[in-house]
Chains A and B, each alone.
Chain A
Amino acid sequence: MKGTPGAPNSISLKSPEDELYINISLNKKVFSPKNNESLEIRFSLSESAKVTIKVFNSDGNESLELIKHQDFGAGENIIRFYGKDRNNKILPSGLYILYFEVLNSETGKTASKGVSFIISNKLE
């Protein structure tokens, strides 16, 4: 089910174009919401799909659901994350996982991907 973006798939006979895939890039790995910094999340989709983005801490606990089943078009999309939970409270410092789940409801194709980021403030 998982695509291999940018790399030719040697096992499957399908070309990469047939797979639903998502590419994620962050403007930084570490950001400090307390200092009004935010995380710029760029993701590109191979086709339009419903996107769900969740934030997990490193223990696997879900901290929040950033986006739920929202439609995004093919190509690059940008969203901004301010490091706050649903109650507008800044998340505790630590290592987090940004988790993406995309679904094309017409074809039923899905893909998921994760990337780590760190919430922190100056340490010393």
Chain B
Amino acid sequence: MKNLKFLILIFILTLFIILPLYAIFEEREVGGRISSLCGAGVAFTEDIYSPYVNPAGLIFLNDFSGLFTYYSLFPSLEGMETISYFNLTAGLPLKNVGGLGFGFNSFGYDYYREKIFLLSSGFQLFYRMGLGVNLKLYNVSIKDLGSASSFGIDIGLIAKIYEGFSIGAYANNVNSPKIGENEDEISQYLTLGIEFVPPGATGLSLIADIQKVVDRKLNLKVAQEFRILKYLFLRSGVQSNPTKYSVGLGINFPYGSFDYAISIHNTLGSQHIITLKFTKGIWDTKLIYGEKIAVKEKAPAVKEVEYVGPKININTATIDELTQIPRVGQKTAEKIIKYREEHGPFKTIEDLMNVKGIGPKTFAKIKHMITVGGPEEKKEEAKPVEIQKMAFDLNTAQMNDFIDKGIPPIIALKIIQYRNKQGVIKNVEELKNIDGMTPEIFEKIKNLVEGK
């Protein structure tokens, strides 16, 4: 299986390398995170930037996410008109299949405009290995010359070899699209890269990409991303051709982040790239500096583990507590809480199967570690409505109270045990089932309770 993975990888890479490559629709600064790494990130997992660096990365997308990026072309160069770029992007995870992305990019000014409509998809091939495909509709319009469209296909491949080491490959426009009456070729390039977390340096990612655009020298990109705080990423990168340096930061906040990059060109000056990102998941799952590697994996098969800890009360548990249950992720936890709010507390643990996302198989694996709450929790709710009015209060009577009324000690003891177990005796009729109870003794107790 492992050998097969590598064979497929090598085959596709070879295919990429022998493809002819050429240029229009140049590579753009696609967003604050990627641009602060000089565009490196073909091996990135778990990010909505995937449609632009490697669509295969979509298989690791955790939550519904969105992106908005803006920059203006070399604004510090005197004489330059304002030529701006923006993109709007959305990503959607598909459970056990991969992920989907949609994007719209626009670049240009009065005289020239490039637009790209993008449909991006990632499919899981094997565990932690995926294939991605981008379908792109290109449109270019030039003042006084009209407009033309074309269609491009990108292919990407990604594999997380182990936690902290991923490799990726991305070939842009493999179908050699041409545009306009003169059939101008649209730029094609191939990128290979890795992302690596050095042992003992959690929170630090080292990223290296090699990019080949035909008719140009190889472009080597080396970058680092350092998550020093839960809220803060520091990033920097350098690339060889054209020579560029970049630094940037990412500020995370609940449900999103702000990514900023300054990209510095030797001759043409700097560009400032800003990105606003939002995600349905509250926090980025990347490790923070000093954090231990104990990452929850989306394994296709969950090993059954004997659970010995306290049971999780599905009527009172928070999202964090619920996600400790195997196979229950953030989304399912949210659904459980929503169900609870809409339908009231779960009466039995089986009711959990009414929640979308929890089928009989999952339930069978988790039923031993969940509860709907013990009698303690129920007592307070049940008491005011359901408890029988008792002249002789079965719920407060002590051993000697029973004996004083002529109840045999052994029965009195059983009643008290029953009461402790149930939390409350709602009705005297419940005592009929007590071990050793005779109709005569029951009649006696019933009369006491009813005040006869």
A interface residues (Cβ-Cβ under 8 A, vs B)? 2, 24, 29-30, 34, 54, 56-62, 92-95, 97, 99, 112-116, 118, 120-124
Residues of B within 8 A of A93 (CB): 24, 179-180, 182, 184
Residues of A within 8 A of B216 (CB): 61
B interface residues (Cβ-Cβ under 8 A, vs A)? 22-28, 73-74, 77-81, 83, 107-109, 111-112, 140-148, 179-182, 184-185, 187, 216, 241-242, 244, 265, 267-268
Residues of B within 8 A of A122 (CB): 145-146, 180-182
Bound CA–CA A59/B219 (angstroms): 12
* Other-chain contact of A94, B23, B28, B73, B265 (Cβ < 8 Å): B23
Known A-B contacts A59-B26, A123-B140, A123-B180; the reply to A115 vs B79 at CB < 8 A is yes
Known A-B contacts A94-B26, A122-B180; the reply to A114 vs B146 at CB < 8 A is no
Bound CA–CA A121/B144 (angstroms): 11
Given A60-B244, A120-B142, list of 13 further CB < 8 A pairs?
A: A30-B111, A54-B267, A58-B107, A61-B241, A62-B242, A92-B24, A92-B187, A112-B78, A116-B81, A118-B111, A120-B180, A122-B180, A123-B141
Bound CA–CA A2/B79 (angstroms): 11
- The smallest C-beta distance from B369 to any residue of chain A, in angstroms, reads 55
Residues of A within 8 A of B77 (CB): 97, 99, 112-114
Residues of A within 8 A of B107 (CB): 58
Residues of A within 8 A of B142 (CB): 30, 118, 120, 123
Residues of B within 8 A of A57 (CB): 23, 26
Residues of A within 8 A of B145 (CB): 30, 120, 122-123
Task: Please state if B23 and A116 are interface contacts (CB–CB under 8 Å).
Answer: no
Task: Please state if B73 and A92 are interface contacts (CB–CB under 8 Å).
Answer: no
Task: Please state if B80 and A121 are interface contacts (CB–CB under 8 Å).
Answer: no
Bound CA–CA A58/B271 (angstroms): 12
Task: Please state if B26 and A114 are interface contacts (CB–CB under 8 Å).
Answer: no
Nearest CB in chain A to that of B183: its residue: A121
Bound CA–CA A71/B78 (angstroms): 22
29 contacts across the A-B interface (CB closer than 8 A): A2-B78, A29-B143, A30-B142, A56-B268, A59-B242, A60-B74, A60-B244, A60-B267, A61-B26, A62-B267, A92-B184, A93-B180, A94-B23, A97-B77, A99-B77, A99-B267, A99-B268, A113-B78, A113-B79, A115-B79, A115-B80, A116-B81, A116-B83, A120-B142, A121-B180, A122-B145, A123-B140, A123-B146, A124-B148
Residues of A within 8 A of B23 (CB): 57, 92, 94
Nearest CB in chain A to that of B22: its residue: A92
Bound CA–CA A69/B387 (angstroms): 100
